[in-house]
Chains A and B, each alone.
Chain A
Amino acid sequence: MSVTAKTTINIAREEISDSSRGYWREVFQRLRRDPVAMACGTLILLLLAAVIFAPWIGLQDPVTGSMIQRLKPVGTPGHVLGTDELGRDMLSRLVYGGRLTLMLGLLPVLFALVIGTALGVFAGYAGGIFNTVIMRVVDVFFAFPSILLAIAISGALGAGIVNSLVSLTIVFIPPITRVAESVTASVRSLEYVDAARISGAGPLTVVRVHVLGNVLSPIFVYATSLTSVSMILAAGLSFLGLGVRPPEPEWGLMLNTLRTAIYIDPLIAALPGVMIFLTSLCLNLLSDGLRSAMNVKD
C-alpha cells in the first residue's frame, strides 16, 4: 500500500513538474524561432562567460599599466584594443569592467524582483489597508525620475559598489511592486482563485499554488525590461564618480576617465560606451523577444 502510494505520489509530482516544464519548453521553442532574440541571448551568454572566467583566459592585469604604453591605438601588437590613458590594456579592462558593470546592472534588478514581487503580491492579494499603505509609499518613489532617485541615494550614501547596489535596488523596487500588485489584483479577481478558496485552501497555499504561477511570468518579463536601464544607470553612477572607485575597471568610470583622451584617440575613448550600448541593446531585444514568447498563451 505504502509503496503504491509513494509511486503514485511520484507520478503525480512528475506530472506537475512535467506540466510546468511543458510551459517553459513551449516558451523556449517560440524563442528559438526568433533569430534576433537568439542572437542577443547568445551574445549576452558569451559576455557573461567572458566576465566570469576573466582571470583564466590569459588577460593582462587590468589595473597596472606602464606610462610609456599610454593610449596606444587599436591593433597595437600585445594590446589588441589599445591601451588607456594610464597605459593599461583596454581588452583586459573592458572584460574586467564588464564584470562590475554587469554585476551592478543585473543584481539590483534581481534583488528588486524578489522584494518588489513579495510586496506587490502581498499588497495585491491582501488588499485593504495593507494595499493602501504599500502603494502610497510606492507613489512617493514614483515622484522621482529613476536617475534622480539613484543619484540622490548614492549621493547621500557616498561612492562605492555596495552603495550603488543599494541605491539601484531601491530605484527598481517601486516599479516592480506596482506591476506585481496590479497583476496580482487582476488574478485575484479571477474565479479560479475563488474556487481555490472554497476548496478550503489557506491564503498562503492559494497564493503559492494559484497566484504565483500566474503572476511570476509577467513580473519576470517586466523585470528583464529593466535590466538595460539598470545597467545604463549603474554605469552612469560610476561615470559621475558615485559607483566604482578607481583604479577598478568599470565601463562608466572608464568612459569618464577616458574623456580627456577624445582629442588624441576618439576610438579608444568610445570603446567602453560601445560596450554599454551593445549590452543594453541586447538586453532590450532579448527582453522583447521573451515578452512575445511568453505572452502567446494568454
Chain B
Amino acid sequence: MTDQQGTDLNASPDRGGPAQPLVIARSLKRYFPIRKGLIGRRKGAVQAVDDVSFTVRKGETLGIVGESGCGKSTTARLLVGLTDIDSGDLIFDGDKLGATLTHKELWAGVQMVFQDSYASLNPRMTIEDTIAFGPKMRGVAPQQAHAAARDLLARVGLAPERFAARYPHELSGGQRQRVNIARALAMRPRLIILDEAVSALDKSVEAQVLNLLADLKAEFGLTYVFISHDLNVVRFISDRIMVMYLGEVVEIGPVESLWKKRAHPYTAALFAAMPSMDPDNRTEVPPLTGDPPNPINPPTGCRFHTRCRFAEEVCATMKPAARPVGGEAAHMAACHMLDPQSGHTMAGARGQEMADG
C-alpha cells in the first residue's frame, strides 16, 4: 500500500514490468475432502482442481471453458484467494501468495464478479453503499469512496441520481451485474475474474454487458480471466482459451489457433456440441455423450479416455504430458496422439495434421 492519505484508491503498481506474467499458477491443487460419520473420518476427496498450471499475461483476456464440474469455478476461487490452495503456487506479478504476498495484498490487485448477480449483492445495502464498502475498508475517506462509487455507477451505465439509493431487488439482472462490475472496479484491481458473469443474463443484455467489459478493459488497462460455458461468448472476448476437464487443463492456446485445430479430442467434442448457424458447416465430430466421470475417483491415465473415441490402451495407463500443438509453443495440449513416442497408433498422423494446420 503506497499513497493513501484518505484520498483516492490507487491501483497497485505494476512491479514486474510488461514481460512478467500477471499471474502464474503452478501445479495448483485443491481437493475437497468428503467427511463421513460422526467424527468426520476422511472418506476420499473430490479432486476439484488437480495439478493445474497456466499463466495470465498482462492485459490479456484468458477464457476458461469446460463442462460444469470441471473445476473452472474452483480455479477462479483459487485465483482470488477465496479458497485455500492445497498445494502449488500462485504468483501474482512476481510475488508468491503466502510468501511475499498476503491475501490482503492479493485482493488489492484481484477482484471477482460472480455468476449470481442477486446473491452477490447484500440485499440490505443500497448499491452505492455496496460499491463504496470495499474502498472504505481500504482506508479511503467515506466522501471520496461515495463520490467514486457514484462516478463508477455512471461509468457502468447506471445514472447515479436514479440508482445510487436503490436496493438490489429493485434492479434487473443486467443492472445488478453492472453494479457488481462497478463494485469490483472500485477496488482499482488489475485483474478481474469473471466467473460466468454474463451466463444468467438475457442474450441482448449479455451483449451490452460484454461490450461494457471490453470498454472498461481498455479504459482501466485491465486483465480478465473470463469463465464461461458459452463458447461463442468466450471466443468473442478472449485472447487465449484454456479448456478444462475433470479438474485438469487439457488444452490452452490462442483463440484462433485453438478454434481451428482443436487438438485435444475433448476440445473437439466440446466445440462440436455447439450449434452451428451455417447449414454447410454441420457437425462432423460426434458430440459428447454421457456425464463426466466421478471426480472422487477420476479415471486413470488420461482422464478423458472413458469418453474419448480415439482411446487406446496407453490412454488408460499413462497420463499424457502437455505438448506444443503443431510446433507452436503458445498452443499446448495434453494428448497422447500429439506425442510420436507415446505408442498411440494415431500419434504420427495426428501430429502431422496439427503441423499442417
- Using CB atoms and an 8 Å cutoff, list the residues of chain A in contact with chain B: 4-5, 8-9, 12, 15-16, 19-20, 23, 132, 190-192, 194-201, 205, 209-210, 213-214, 297-298
Q: Are B137 and A198 in contact (CB under 8 A)?
A: no
**Measured CA separation A8–B82 after assembly (Å):** 33
**Nearest CB in chain A to that of B40: its residue:** A132
Provide the B111-147 mask, 1 if CB < 8 A to any CB of A, else 0: 1101110011111111011101110011001110010
Q: Return A280 CB to nearest CB of chain B, in Å.
A: 32
Q: Return B113 CB to nearest CB of chain A, in Å.
A: 9
A20: chain B residues at CB < 8 Å are 124
Q: Are A214 and B124 in contact (CB under 8 A)?
A: yes
**Measured CA separation A229–B179 after assembly (Å):** 45
Q: Are A19 and B126 in contact (CB under 8 A)?
A: yes
**Nearest CB in chain B to that of A192: its residue:** B122
A23 touching B124 in the complex, CB below 8 Å, given contacts A8-B146, A200-B134: yes
B259 at the interface (CB under 8 A from A): no
**Nearest CB in chain B to that of A209: its residue:** B133
Q: Are B137 and A194 in contact (CB under 8 A)?
A: no
Q: Are A199 and B187 in contact (CB under 8 A)?
A: yes
Could you show 24 A-B contacts with beta carbons less than 8 Å apart?
Answer: A5-B141, A9-B143, A15-B126, A15-B128, A15-B165, A19-B124, A19-B126, A190-B120, A192-B119, A192-B121, A194-B82, A194-B114, A195-B183, A196-B134, A198-B81, A199-B133, A200-B107, A200-B134, A209-B122, A210-B122, A213-B124, A214-B123, A297-B169, A298-B169
Number of interface residues of B (CB under 8 A): 39
A12 in complex: contacting residue of B110, B123, B124, B143, CB < 8 Å: B143
A23: chain B residues at CB < 8 Å are 124
Q: Return B127 CB to nearest CB of chain A, in Å.
A: 11
B108 at the interface (CB under 8 A from A): yes
B270 at the interface (CB under 8 A from A): no
A190: chain B residues at CB < 8 Å are 119-120
A191 touching B143 in the complex, CB below 8 Å, given contacts A19-B124, A19-B125, A19-B126: no
A297: chain B residues at CB < 8 Å are 123, 169
**Measured CA separation A139–B30 after assembly (Å):** 32
B129: chain A residues at CB < 8 Å are 15-16, 19
B169: chain A residues at CB < 8 Å are 297-298
A19: chain B residues at CB < 8 Å are 124-126, 129, 165, 167
**Nearest CB in chain B to that of A194: its residue:** B82
A8 touching B123 in the complex, CB below 8 Å, given contacts A198-B80, A198-B81, A201-B137: no
B138: chain A residues at CB < 8 Å are 199-200
Q: Are A194 and B112 in contact (CB under 8 A)?
A: yes
Q: Are B142 and A8 in contact (CB under 8 A)?
A: yes
B162 at the interface (CB under 8 A from A): no
A9 touching B137 in the complex, CB below 8 Å, given contacts A16-B129, A23-B124: no
A5: chain B residues at CB < 8 Å are 141, 143
Q: Are B111 and A191 in contact (CB under 8 A)?
A: no
**Measured CA separation A81–B32 after assembly (Å):** 69
**Measured CA separation A289–B127 after assembly (Å):** 30
B104 at the interface (CB under 8 A from A): yes
**Nearest CB in chain A to that of B121: its residue:** A192
Q: Return B73 CB to nearest CB of chain A, in Å.
A: 11
**Nearest CB in chain A to that of B165: its residue:** A15
Most buried by B among A4, A20, A201, A298: A201
**Measured CA separation A196–B112 after assembly (Å):** 11
B180: chain A residues at CB < 8 Å are 195
**Measured CA separation A4–B132 after assembly (Å):** 18
Q: Return B72 CB to nearest CB of chain A, in Å.
A: 16
Most buried by A among B122, B123, B130, B133: B122
13 other A-B residue contacts (CB within 8 Å) besides A191-B116, A192-B121, A199-B137:
A4-B143, A8-B143, A19-B124, A19-B165, A19-B167, A191-B119, A192-B122, A198-B110, A198-B112, A200-B108, A200-B137, A209-B122, A298-B123
Q: Are A12 and B146 in contact (CB under 8 A)?
A: yes
Q: Are B122 and A198 in contact (CB under 8 A)?
A: no
